[in-house]
């Protein structure tokens, strides 16, 4: 049993690992539960041999036990989003053809019919957790461990395949850079189909022998209650969450505000990532909590790559320097750029993913001489990186999620009242970017934001549904007839002042 977190967990067996809606669990209980899940998945076979296993469970102990069980059986963990509607769940199942589909009882009605229609083996999490433990395979670090779906410029999400060695490199880099230790205690409030929650929070905590408290969902009052308790040492979130926490603090009574702020000051580290952190939000949070939020930069394909310093100066609006084990460079058309000049970030190192699932050509195009081409543009001065934006206007970062404008457009064009559509991200102080759809209606069609959002929520994850619809007679185009999204964004921003 050479993989990842399991030998580490044996060292911490008697310590508390997880506090979740289901209760409090030790590392030994997590190891035992994941062994039962692994045996259920194997069903008498010696090894899953890197077959995908899709699973869906709310944040909590069961989620972690299922994920670890898949790894220990030799499978590839494919976490399904709690927020995805049927078409997006179907897409992942069709793309991976999993050996098994596992579901928490609360989600069985959503997932079991999809598995049955595809002839896939289905299992309930409760049954897996009660299965007798049996012999488990030895799993080498080089084997595939996880597929996380991320939007790309081709429209449909791509499955990012990471090995056990990739994940271990991501974890150890952050443990070193951010000073993780066994007496840490972190609150997990992030979605668990996303690398931020899976690796940065849960996996780093469990690697270190720390306690991970998991909330079933984000609730500003509940989060503030834990921050104010003084029991936590770390907290990690996206800018949108900090905006909501600031709002809750401002609405509290003066005495309560002081208690909330005092609790924050007892934490040793607070991190913001997954989207750009507006400097006014950073300054307001410093005023409230005493913390200069540590900003970092990463993505599903590379884990975390750049980070401000744990102990040294942090630079607002910047994402710091390469993390341990990470090589970074800025390039323009294959050539290095001088300091102070924009260039595309390229990353190399053991944390970088193996491939896009079933997409060898897209994988090949994403690398140059072993360097991963992130598509993000930055400037570097005195060793400090500042992110300038995407090299593609078709990727939108909203509320910590990366979504594809092309994917959303493809869905919106199935609406009976839409003739043409272009989707863009417009700067927003809360969401980083908000998703805006510019629509040219069909003759006689009546379209508005409210009805479009209701229609979209049946077909897209909520965070992908346009937050605003702009009705136009025609879309701005260039001389080649292609929609000019930079011009469209300027039109929308000018109209909104």
Sequential pLDDT tens for the chain (497 residues):
347 788 999 999 999 999 999 999 999 999 999 999 999 999 999 999 999 999 999 999 999 999 999 999 999 999 999 989 999 999 999 999 999 999 999 999 999 999 999 999 999 999 999 999 999 999 999 999 999 998 654 568 899 999 999 999 999 999 999 999 999 999 999 999 999 999 999 999 999 999 999 999 999 999 999 999 999 999 999 988 999 999 999 999 999 999 999 999 999 999 999 877 888 889 999 999 999 999 999 999 999 999 999 999 999 889 999 999 999 999 998 899 999 988 999 999 999 999 999 999 999 999 999 999 999 989 999 999 998 877 777 778 899 887 888 789 889 989 999 988 999 999 898 899 999 999 999 887 888 899 999 999 999 999 999 999 999 999 998 755 678 888 899 999 888 76
Position 328 scores a pLDDT of 98
Alpha-carbon gap, residue 42 to 36, rounded angstroms: 10
Specify the DSSP element, H or E, that contains 175: helix 164-177
Position 480 scores a pLDDT of 54
Using an 8 Å Cβ cutoff, are 406 and 154 in contact? yes
Position 2 scores a pLDDT of 45
Please tell me the pTM assigned to this model. 0.87
Q: Are strands 158-163 and 185-188 parallel, antiparallel or unpaired?
A: unpaired
Query: Residue 454: which residues within 8 A CB-CB, separation 6 or more?
Result: none
Structure tokens at 223: 């989060």
Alpha-carbon gap, residue 367 to 353, rounded angstroms: 11
Alpha-carbon gap, residue 214 to 301, rounded angstroms: 25
Cα atoms in the 13 Å half-sphere on the side-chain side of 183: 3
Alpha-carbon gap, residue 45 to 73, rounded angstroms: 9
Cα atoms in the 13 Å half-sphere on the side-chain side of 182: 10
Domains of the chain: residue spans and CATH: 395-495 (3.30.300.30)
Q: What is residue 14's DSSP assignment?
A: T
Of 468, 395, 470, 466, nearest to 438 (Cα)?
Answer: 470
468-471, strands of its sheet edge to edge:
418-428, 432-441, 468-471
How far is C-alpha 51 from the geometric centre of its chain's CA atoms? Answer: 23
Beta strand ranges found along 189-313 (DSSP E): 211-214, 234-237, 269-272, 294-299, 303-307
b/e per residue 295-308 (b: at least 16 CB within 10 A): bbbbbbbbbbbbbb
Position 29 scores a pLDDT of 98
The residue behind tokens 């029991």 is 231
Q: How distant, in Å, are the alpha carbons of 97, 126, 314, 445 from that of 340?
A: 47, 55, 18, 50
Alpha-carbon gap, residue 148 to 78, rounded angstroms: 6
Query: Residue 133: which residues within 8 A CB-CB, separation 6 or more?
Result: 32, 35, 36, 38, 39
Specify the DSSP element, H or E, that contains 158: strand 158-163
Structure tokens at 93: 């199942």
Using an 8 Å Cβ cutoff, are 424 and 489 in contact? yes
Structure tokens at 248: 């809750």
b/e per residue 453-489 (b: at least 16 CB within 10 A): bebbeebbbebbbbbbbbebeebbeeeeeebbbeebb
Query: Residue 16: which residues within 8 A CB-CB, separation 6 or more?
Result: 24, 25, 26, 211
Using an 8 Å Cβ cutoff, are 298 and 276 in contact? no
Alpha-carbon gap, residue 459 to 260, rounded angstroms: 39
């Amino acid at each position: 049993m050479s993989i990842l977190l399991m030998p580490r967990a044996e060292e911490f067996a008697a310590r508390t690992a997880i506090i979740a809606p289901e209760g409090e669990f030790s590392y030994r209980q997590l190891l035992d539960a994941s062994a039962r899940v692994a045996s259920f998945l194997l069903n008498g076979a010696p090894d899953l041999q890197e077959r995908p296993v899709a699973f869906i469970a709310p944040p909590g102990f069961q989620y972690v036990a299922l994920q670890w069980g898949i790894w220990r059986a030799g499978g590839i963990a494919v976490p399904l989003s709690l927020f995805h509607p049927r078409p997006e769940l179907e897409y992942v199942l069709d793309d991976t053809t999993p050996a098994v589909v596992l579901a928490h009882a609360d989600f069985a009605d959503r997932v079991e019919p999809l598995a049955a229609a595809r002839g896939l083996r289905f299992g309930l999490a409760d049954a897996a957790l009660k299965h007798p433990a049996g012999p488990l395979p030895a799993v080498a670090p080089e084997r595939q461990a996880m597929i996380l779906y991320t939007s790309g410029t081709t429209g449909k999400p791509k499955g990012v395949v990471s090995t056990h060695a990739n994940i271990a490199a991501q974890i150890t880099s952050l443990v070193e850079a951010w000073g993780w230790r066994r007496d840490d205690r972190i609150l997990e409030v992030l979605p668990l189909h996303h690398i931020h929650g899976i690796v940065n929070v849960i996996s780093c905590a469990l690697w270190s022998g720390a306690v991970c408290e998991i909330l079933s969902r984000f609730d500003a009052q509940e989060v503030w209650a834990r921050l104010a308790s003084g029991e936590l040492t770390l907290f990690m979130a996206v800018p949108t969450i900090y905006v909501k926490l600031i709002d809750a603090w401002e609405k509290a009574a003066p005495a309560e505000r002081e208690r909330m702020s005092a609790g924050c000051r007892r934490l040793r580290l607070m991190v913001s990532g997954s989207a750009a952190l507006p400097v006014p939000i950073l300054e307001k949070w410093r005023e409230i909590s005493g913390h200069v939020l540590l900003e970092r930069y990463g993505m599903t394909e590379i884990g975390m790559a750049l980070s401000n310093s744990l102990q040294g100066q942090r630079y607002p609006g910047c994402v710091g320097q390469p993390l341990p084990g990470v090589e970074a460079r800025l390039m323009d058309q294959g050539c290095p750029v001088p300091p102070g000049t924009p260039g595309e970030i390229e990353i190399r190192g053991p944390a970088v993913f193996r491939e896009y699932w079933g997409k060898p050509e897209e994988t090949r195009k994403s690398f140059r001489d072993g360097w991963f081409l992130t598509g993000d543009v930055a400037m570097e001065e005195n060793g400090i990186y500042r992110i300038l934006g995407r090299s593609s206007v078709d990727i939108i970062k909203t509320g910590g999620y990366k979504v594809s404008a092309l994917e959303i457009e493809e869905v919106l064009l199935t609406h009976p009242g839409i003739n043409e559509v272009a989707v863009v991200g417009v700067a927003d102080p809360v969401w980083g970017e908000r998703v805006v759809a510019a629509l040219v209606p069909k003759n006689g069609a009546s379209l508005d934001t409210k009805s479009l959002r209701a229609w979209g929520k049946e077909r897209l994850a909520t965070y992908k549904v346009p937050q605003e619809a702009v009705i136009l007679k025609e879309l701005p185009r260039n001389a080649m007839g292609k929609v000019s999204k930079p011009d469209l964004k300027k039109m929308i921003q000018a109209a909104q002042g």
